[in-house]
């Protein structure tokens, strides 16, 4: 039984890691806590849902379309709105992204109503047995895909010119400008990548769980917890934070019930802030 619980936690933790990756990237590079992050996850989920419902496109294929659409949307939002207050105090950017979240959520509610929906693929119930534990293929595919997307982002950030520009902007803004980096453009691209990652997480969420316009706030908080637990400043932070949260939640809900899932998450957050404020992999000092 405990093997099943641990496996469930690991598979869910992979999705948590992907959810938090976009928030962590934007936070680390632009120093913005994107309150609208969950709303972007929700839009990615609905993009996948409608492509599947209207055109029969498999969600694992439509993921690329959802990421592209959300990248463009994120680029436009950052370039046209957030960039206007990019140098303001963090409270201003918090209020602005909160306003963006409210606008997106209410627009989605107006367009799609509050009905709960789900992407029902034909292979949803397919599974296999591993040492007595049942592993659904859909959850395993989602976990592997989350790791692949994370690896691709790592390669982009560490092996490409764009990645070096993003890292330079994050580490020293003035030095990046002196070396010819178009900071405004890099910020917009970074925000676009963050929203594209949110869309990928939304696609996988729509395959595994029901979706609704109200889901964004919960997922923003969950992503925030993962970022803090894992630690900012490293690609492994969201992965470690996501897996930690997934496993602990899986164990906790088995003992206490699913009603206490949020309590478990925020208990972990408080404990990490008390004993290791920089997160598990965060750099001290």
- List pLDDT tens digits, range 38-97: 999 999 999 999 999 999 999 989 999 999 999 999 999 999 999 888 878 888 989 999
Flag whether 142 is in a domain.
yes
**Top-confidence residue, 198 or 91:** 198
Annotate 215-234 with DSSP letters as a single string.
GHHHHHHHHHHHHHHH-SSS
Flag whether 242 is in a domain.
no
Query: Which two tokens mark 174?
Result: 């003035």
Average pLDDT for 7-34: 90
**DSSP state at residue 35:** T
Closest by CA to 37, choosing from 49, 25, 48, is 25
Whole domain around residue 130: which residue ranges?
Answer: 17-214
Question: Taking 50 as the threshold, does the pLDDT of residue 131 lie above it?
Answer: yes
Flag whether 264 is in a domain.
no
**DSSP state at residue 211:** B
- What is the domain count for the chain? 1
What confidence score (pLDDT) does residue 90 get?
A: 83
Flag whether 111 is in a domain.
yes
Residue 143 has a CB neighbour count (10 Å cut-off) of 22
What confidence score (pLDDT) does residue 55 get?
A: 93
| Band of pLDDT at residue 196, cut at 50, 70 and 90 | very high
Beta bridge partners of residue 127, listed in sequence order: 136
Whole-prediction pTM value? 0.93
**DSSP state at residue 117:** B
CA atoms of 192 and 22, how far apart (whole Å): 9
Q: Are 184 and 79 in contact, with CB atoms under 8 Å apart?
A: yes
Question: Could you read off the pLDDT of 234-278 as tens digits, one per residue?
Answer: 778 889 999 999 998 888 888 877 777 888 888 888 888 888 888
What confidence score (pLDDT) does residue 74 get?
A: 95
Exposed (0-12), middle (13-18) or buried (19+): which is 181, by Cβ within 10 Å?
middle
CA atoms of 221 and 234, how far apart (whole Å): 20
Flag whether 112 is in a domain.
yes
């Amino acid at each position: 039984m405990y093997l099943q619980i641990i496996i469930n936690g690991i598979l869910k933790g992979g999705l948590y890691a992907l959810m938090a990756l976009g928030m962590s990237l934007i936070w680390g590079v632009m120093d913005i806590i994107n309150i609208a992050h969950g709303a972007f996850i929700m839009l990615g989920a609905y993009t996948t849902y409608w492509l599947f419902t209207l055109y029969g496109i498999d969600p694992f294929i439509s993921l690329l379309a959802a990421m592209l659409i959300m990248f463009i949307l994120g680029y436009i939002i950052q370039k046209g709105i957030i960039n206007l207050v990019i140098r303001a105090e963090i409270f201003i950017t918090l209020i602005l992204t909160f306003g963006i979240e409210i606008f997106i959520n209410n627009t989605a509610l107006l367009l799609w109503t509050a009905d709960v929906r789900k992407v029902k693929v034909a292979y949803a119930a397919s599974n296999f047995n591993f040492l007595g534990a049942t592993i659904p293929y859909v959850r395993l595919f989602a976990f592997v895909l989350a790791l692949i997307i994370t690896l691709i982002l790592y390669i982009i950030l560490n092996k490409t010119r764009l990645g070096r520009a993003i890292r330079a902007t994050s580490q020293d803004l003035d030095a990046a400008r002196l070396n010819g980096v178009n900071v405004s453009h890099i910020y917009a691209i970074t925000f676009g990548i963050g929203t594209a990652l949110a869309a990928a997480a939304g696609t996988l969420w729509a395959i595994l769980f029901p979706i609704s316009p109200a889901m964004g706030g919960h997922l923003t908080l969950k992503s925030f917890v993962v970022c803090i637990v894992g630690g900012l400043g490293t690609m492994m932070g969201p992965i470690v934070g996501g897996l930690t949260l997934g496993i602990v939640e899986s164990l906790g809900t088995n003992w206490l019930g699913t009603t206490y899932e949020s309590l478990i998450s925020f208990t972990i957050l408080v404990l990490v802030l008390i004993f290791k404020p920089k997160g598990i992999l965060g750099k001290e000092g």
